[in-house]
Amino acid sequence: MEIEWSSGPMKYSNSVDDVLMDYTVMDGWLLNLNSFISPKGKNVYISTIYSSDNNTIWVGTDAGIIFQGDPYMKSFYPIKYGLSNTDVQTFIHSFPSWLGGRNYPDDEGSLSLVDPYNAYFDWYEGEFLINVNHLDIYENCTVNNEYWFGGVSSIIVYDSKRDFWRTLDASKGIPYGQIRFLEPDTNFIWAASNYEIEKINIKTKRSESTGLNKSLSNSYINDISLINNYLWVSTEYKLLCYNTDSEVIVPFDYVGNTNSIKDRIDVITKFYAVFYDGIKLYVATNQGIIAYNNVNSTWELITESTIYNNKVVKIIYVYNKQLFIVTDNSLIRLKMNKGFYKKYDYQFIGTINDIFVENNHVWLATNNGLIQFKWKKDL
C-alpha cells in the first residue's frame, strides 16, 4: 500500500490560480490569490495544496486552518482542528472546555474552545478581542455565566451571556506575577500568583483589603484551596489555614487531630501541591502525602515520599480512590489503600501543567498539547 505523506509545499503558478479562482469561500472568508482573508480581516497564507482522486481539493495554510474544496459546489469550507497553541497551561474540567497557555514573544496569544468528543474546535485570538491585551493564560475558573482566566499580572473575564471581554490589571488590585490560582467563593474570587493573594469582588471586579499578604511575609506560594470559609495556603515552608471571616491564620498542625502524623510534623520542611476532593484535603510534602478529613477533623498519611522519589510535586489529583501525582518529568497513579502504583514517564508527554480525570479518561494539559489516555487499561 502506497502512502502519500504530504502534498508538499505549494509552488505558486497560474494553473493553481486558475483552479482556486473557480471557487467561492464560505463562512465569510475571502480568497485573495495566494491567501485567504478571515471575516475579521486576517490574512492566512496558502502553504500547500492537494487534490484527491475524487477531485476534492484540500488547501493548507500557515495558520493551521484547512480549506476543503467541494468540486461540485465549487466552494471552499474552512476547517479548524486542534488547538490554537500547544503549550497548554490550564483548561476547564468539563467539555466543551476553554484551554489557555503560553505563547511566543510578541504574540497576542489565543484561547481554544474545544469539545474533542464531538470534534469541535474554535480559536479566540487576542488581537481580535476588544479589551484584551495579551492571552498568556495560567489558570481558570467559572462563576455563573463568567469565565475568569489568570494571565500575567492580570485576569481576563469573559461574560458569555453578553459576549463581552474585559481585562483586570494592577489598577483593580490584581496580584503581581502569573496568576496561577483562582478559588471562587460566593461573592469573591481568591486570586494568587506565587507572590501575592488578593480577594477580588466578583461584582465590582476590584480587590478588597485583607491581612493575608502581611501574614504570609513574602512567602513563595505553591498552591491554595478554599474549603467553606477556610483558605488553605501551601507555601514553600509552611501550610497555613486562613479563616476568611475572622482573618485568623494558623499553621496546619493547629487544625484537627494530628495524632497519626505527629512523628512527621517536625520533619516536614517543604509543602507542595494541595487538592480537595470534597471530603479530604490532600497535601504533598517532602515527607509524603498527608490528608485532612474535613468531616471528622483528623489527619492521616496517604503515602511515603519515596513513591515520587522525594521530588517536588507540582500537582495532585484524586479520582475514585486513585491518587495522581505530577512531578517535573513524570505522572504517577497510586491506588490508595492498596499500594499499587503505575508510573507514566513517556517523553512525548512533556511537562504536565494540569490534569482532569473523567470516567476512564485522563486528560493532561502539557507543553506538547492536550493529551488523553485510558488509565483503566493498566488495571
Q: What is the pLDDT along the chain (379 residues), one digit of tens a residue?
A: 454 555 566 555 555 667 788 899 999 999 988 899 999 899 999 988 888 888 889 999 988 899 999 999 999 999 998 898 889 999 999 999 999 999 877 778 899 999 999 999 999 998 899 999 889 999 999 999 999 999 999 999 999 999 999 999 999 999 999 999 999 999 999 999 999 999 999 999 999 999 899 999 889 999 999 999 999 999 999 999 999 999 999 999 999 999 999 999 999 999 999 999 999 999 999 999 999 999 999 999 999 999 999 999 999 999 999 999 999 989 999 999 888 999 999 999 999 999 999 999 999 999 999 999 999 876 5
pLDDT of residue 9: 60
Q: At 252, give phi and psi (nearest 5°).
A: -60, -35
Rounded to 10 degrees, the C-alpha dihedral 359/354/226/292 comes to 70
Enclosing H/E stretch for 213: helix 212-216
CB-based contact 205:199 (threshold 8 Å): no
Q: Measured between alpha carbons, how far is residue 75 from residues 27, 78, 286, 332, 365 in Å?
A: 11, 10, 61, 49, 36
Residues 6+ apart with CB under 8 A from 301: 260, 261, 264, 288, 289, 290
pLDDT of residue 105: 75
Enclosing H/E stretch for 20: helix 14-21
Q: Where are the domains of the chain?
A: 14-79, 217-345
- Measured CA to CA, the distance from residue 361 to residue 379 in angstroms comes to 13
Nearest to 103 by CA among 132, 80, 130, 137: 137
Enclosing H/E stretch for 315: strand 315-319
CATH of 217-345, one of 3.20.19.10, 3.40.50.970, 3.40.640.10, 2.130.10.10: 2.130.10.10
pLDDT of residue 1: 43
Enclosing H/E stretch for 24: strand 24-25
- Measured CA to CA, the distance from residue 185 to residue 205 in angstroms comes to 14
pLDDT of residue 63: 86
pLDDT of residue 107: 77
Q: For the chain, how many helices (H) and strands (E)?
A: 3, 34
